[in-house]
Structure 1
Amino acid sequence: MRNPIMTRPGGIWTTVSGLILANIFFAVGVPYAIRAALLDVPADIRMLTITALGTVAAICVAIWMVRSMITYPGAELSSYTIPAFFLSFGTLLLFLILTRLEYSRFLIIISFVISFVWTHFSLIRAQEKRKLSIGVLPFGNARDVLSLDKVNWFVIENTNDPVLNCDLVVTDLRVNLTDEWDRQVSDYALSGIRVLHYKHLVESLTGQVQLEHLYENSAGSLSPQPVYMKIKHFFDWVAAAMAAIVVLPLMIVVAAVVALDSRGPILFRQERMGYRGEVFRVFKFRTMRHGSALADARNSAMTQSDDARITRVGRFLRTSRIDELPQIINILRGEMSWIGPRPEAVALSQWYEQDIAFYRYRHIVRPGISGWAQVNQGHVTNVEDVRNKLNYDFYYIKNYSPWIDMLIVFKTLVTMATGYGAK
Structure 2
Amino acid sequence: MIRLFKHYVPNAVLLLGVLDIILLVAAGEIGWTIRANQLGMTALPMSTRWPELASYAAFLEIAMIAVGVYGTEALQSLRYAMARLIVAISLGVIGLSVLYFLIPEISFWRSNLLYAMAASIVMLIFLRMLLGKALGSQAFKRRIVVLGAGARAQRLKELSKTPGAGFAVVGYISMSEPARVIPEAIARDAIYNLADHVVLLNASEVVLALEERRNALPLKDLLRIKTTGVHVNEISTFLERETGRVDLQSVNPSWLIFSDGFSSGRMISSAFKRVFDIAASLLLLTLMLPVITLAAIAVKLESKGPAFYRQRRVGLFGQGFDVIKIRSMRQDAEAGGKAVWAEKDDPRITRVGKFLRKSRIDELPQCWSVLKGEMSFVGPRPERPQFVEDLETKLNYYAERHMVKPGITGWAQINYPYGASIEDSRQKLEYDLYYAKNYSPFLDLLIILQTIRVVLFPEGAR
CA distance in 2, matches of 1:419, 1:23: 28
- SS at the partner of 1:303? coil
Matches within 5 A, 1:301-316: 301-316=340-355
Q: Is the alpha carbon distance of 1:84 and 1:204 closer, same or farther for their aligned partners in structure 2, counting shifts above 3 Å? A: farther
**8 Å CA contact 2:380, 2:407 repeated in 1:** yes
Unaligned stretches of 5+ in structure 1? none
| TM-score normalized by the length of structure 1 | 0.77
Q: Give deviations 1:84-126, integer Å, cap 9, x for gaps.
A: 9889888876665545526332555544654566456546737
**8 Å CA contact 2:66, 2:451 repeated in 1:** no
Alignment correspondent of 1:227: 268
Matches within 5 A, 1:156-305: 156=172, 157=186, 158=191, 159=194, 160-161=196-197, 168-172=204-208, 176-177=217-218, 179-180=220-221, 182-187=223-228, 189=229, 194-211=231-248, 212-213=252-253, 215=256, 220-223=261-264, 225-295=266-336, 297=338, 300-305=339-344
Q: Is the alpha carbon distance of 1:335 and 1:21 closer, same or farther for their aligned partners in structure 2, counting shifts above 3 Å? A: same
**Structure 2 counterpart of 1:138, one-letter code:** L
Q: How far 1:146 moved relative to its partner?
A: 1.3
Alignment match of 1:405 (pick from 440, 444, 449): 444
Unaligned stretches of 5+ in structure 2? 76-80, 173-185
Whether 1:56 aligns to 2:54 is: yes
Alignment correspondent of 1:348: 387
Alignment match of 2:171 (pick from 122, 132, 155): 155
| TM-score normalized by the length of structure 2 | 0.72
Q: Give deviations 1:9-56, integer Å, cap 9, x for gaps.
A: xx58459766655554x32444444455566779x959x865434413
RMSD: 4.2
**Structure 1 counterpart of 2:244, one-letter code:** G
**8 Å CA contact 1:51, 1:108 repeated in 2:** no
Whether 1:146 aligns to 2:165 is: no
Tell which deviates more after alignment, 91-100 or 351-360: 91-100
**Structure 1 counterpart of 2:237, one-letter code:** H
Q: Is the alpha carbon distance of 1:75 and 1:207 closer, same or farther for their aligned partners in structure 2, counting shifts above 3 Å? A: farther
Q: Is the alpha carbon distance of 1:220 and 1:209 closer, same or farther for their aligned partners in structure 2, counting shifts above 3 Å? A: closer
- SS at the partner of 1:129? helix
- SS at the partner of 1:326? helix
Q: Is the alpha carbon distance of 1:20 and 1:311 closer, same or farther for their aligned partners in structure 2, counting shifts above 3 Å? A: closer
CA distance in 1, matches of 2:433, 2:408: 17
Tell which deviates more after alignment, 303-312 or 208-217: 208-217
Alignment correspondent of 1:393: 432
Identity of aligned residues (%): 29
Aligned pairs, how many? 410
CA distance in 2, matches of 1:381, 1:393: 16
**8 Å CA contact 1:68, 1:403 repeated in 2:** no
**8 Å CA contact 1:135, 1:169 repeated in 2:** yes
Q: Is the alpha carbon distance of 1:64 and 1:171 closer, same or farther for their aligned partners in structure 2, counting shifts above 3 Å? A: farther
CA distance in 1, matches of 2:433, 2:105: 45
CA distance in 1, matches of 2:456, 2:107: 34
